């Protein structure tokens, strides 16, 4: 099972919106060189909802090929149609991904029974271990703890990315799933340190896009229970945790990667480039984290 810092990888794009395959390979190697423990390809930060099926498949395949088995690859395979989510998960397995990350169906607002049956179908239709992904702020669909506990008993469902930022809910799940082997990951960088110190297994992180080494060290310390070391690193990274959400993800993180010289200024509508009024705020956060010099 994966523990530690798992980057929710941004998908580099050219100014015209085309996927920049060369830059994607560079980003993968940037993470391999800086201690990232696993990569999510075509998750929310990777803009899959703006991609065609073919592009979505190609991004997953390209990341798997570039990683070459050196660290685990988690394929983002969520969709609001169950049949599409199953198809994406099957494909990810065919090209060699190690896990799939399946988000709560967005927009259609299913019941808890609907969520249970949706994820059960994904698990049954894929050979890959499935990590559930709950991010109600984006999906308007909230996977309740009781439903997570039901799903934890389904073969092939092995974990949860909890992006609610609600530590009380996380503490309840951690306690009730202790010893089960079910993996619990934070999906909220601002609360991830405390989530892991309570017993969580890692962080599926936006911040790790721009500060991979620091996030690896933070997660290693927190998972090991080294509270002093974890909080020391987390304090330095907190301006990034906070301000990479100053506009909708992945707008600020893609601007940051461009500022670091790693990608072109490319993003797809309806996402737009970071508003100029926020440039200095993100720049300062990158400086405080030691990511850039000036």
- The predicted structure's pLDDT at residue 270: 97
C-alpha count within 13 angstroms, C-beta hemisphere, residue 21: 10
* Range 115-153 burial, b when 16+ CB lie within 10 A, else e: bbebbbebbebbebbbbbbbbeeebebbbebebbebbbe
Helix (H, G, I), strand (E, B) or coil at 20: coil
Torsion angles phi and psi, residue 77, rounded to 5: -130, 20
- The predicted structure's pLDDT at residue 4: 98
Sequence-separated (6 or more) residues with CB below 8 Å from residue 265: 15, 254, 255, 258, 273
Measured distance CA(197)–CA(230) in Å, rounded: 9
- The predicted structure's pLDDT at residue 1: 85
Distance, CA of 211 to chain centre: 14
Scan for tokens 């080494």, then name that residue. Answer: 213
Catalytic residue among 106, 161, 185, 254: 161
- The predicted structure's pLDDT at residue 157: 98
Q: Are 246 and 281 in contact (CB under 8 A)?
A: yes
Measured distance CA(269)–CA(52) in Å, rounded: 14
- The predicted structure's pLDDT at residue 200: 98
- The predicted structure's pLDDT at residue 149: 98
- The predicted structure's pLDDT at residue 294: 73
User: Residue ranges per domain, the chain?
Assistant: 4-224
pLDDT, one tens digit per residue, over 34-93 is 999 999 999 999 999 999 999 999 999 999 999 999 999 999 999 999 999 999 999 999
Task: Give the ranges where 153-244 is alpha helix by DSSP (H).
Answer: 167-176, 189-197, 212-223, 227-243
Catalytic residue among 133, 185, 254, 278: 133
- Does 45 belong to an annotated binding site? yes
- The predicted structure's pLDDT at residue 43: 97
Known catalytic membership, residue 133: yes
Tokens of 155: 């073969």
- Does 246 belong to an annotated binding site? no
Residue ranges for the chain with pLDDT beneath 70: none
User: At the topology level of CATH, where does 4-224 sit?
Assistant: TIM Barrel (3.20.20)
Known catalytic membership, residue 109: no
- The predicted structure's pLDDT at residue 223: 98
- The predicted structure's pLDDT at residue 126: 92
């Amino acid at each position: 099972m994966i523990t530690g810092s798992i980057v929710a990888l941004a998908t580099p794009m050219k100014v015209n919106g085309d996927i920049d395959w060369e830059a994607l390979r560079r980003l993968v190697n940037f993470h391999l060189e800086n201690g990232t423990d696993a990569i999510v390809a075509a998750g929310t930060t990777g803009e899959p909802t703006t991609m065609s099926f073919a592009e979505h498949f190609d991004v997953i395949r390209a990341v798997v090929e570039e990683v070459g088995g050196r660290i685990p690859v988690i394929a983002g395979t969520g969709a609001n149609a169950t049949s599409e989510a199953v198809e994406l998960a099957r494909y990810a397995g065919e090209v060699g991904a190690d896990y799939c990350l399946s988000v709560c169906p967005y927009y259609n607002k299913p019941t808890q029974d609907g969520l249970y049956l949706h994820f059960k179908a994904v698990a049954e239709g894929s050979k890959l271990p499935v990590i559930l992904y709950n991010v109600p702020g984006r999906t308007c669909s909230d996977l309740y703890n009781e439903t997570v506990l039901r799903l934890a008993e389904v073969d092939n469902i092995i974990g949860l990315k909890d992006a609610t930022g609600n530590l009380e809910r996380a503490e309840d799940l951690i306690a009730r799933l202790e010893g089960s082997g079910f993996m619990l990951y934070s999906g909220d960088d601002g609360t991830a340190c405390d989530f892991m110190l309570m017993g969580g297994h890692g962080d599926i992180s936006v911040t790790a896009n721009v500060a991979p080494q620091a996030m690896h060290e933070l997660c290693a310390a927190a998972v090991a229970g080294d509270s002093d070391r974890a909080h020391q690193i987390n304090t330095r990274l907190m301006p990034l945790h906070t301000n990479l959400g100053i506009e909708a993800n992945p707008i600020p993180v893609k601007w940051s990667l461009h500022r670091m010289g790693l990608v072109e200024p490319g993003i797809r509508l309806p996402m737009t480039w970071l508003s100029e009024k926020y440039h200095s705020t993100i720049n300062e956060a990158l400086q405080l984290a030691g990511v850039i010099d000036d």
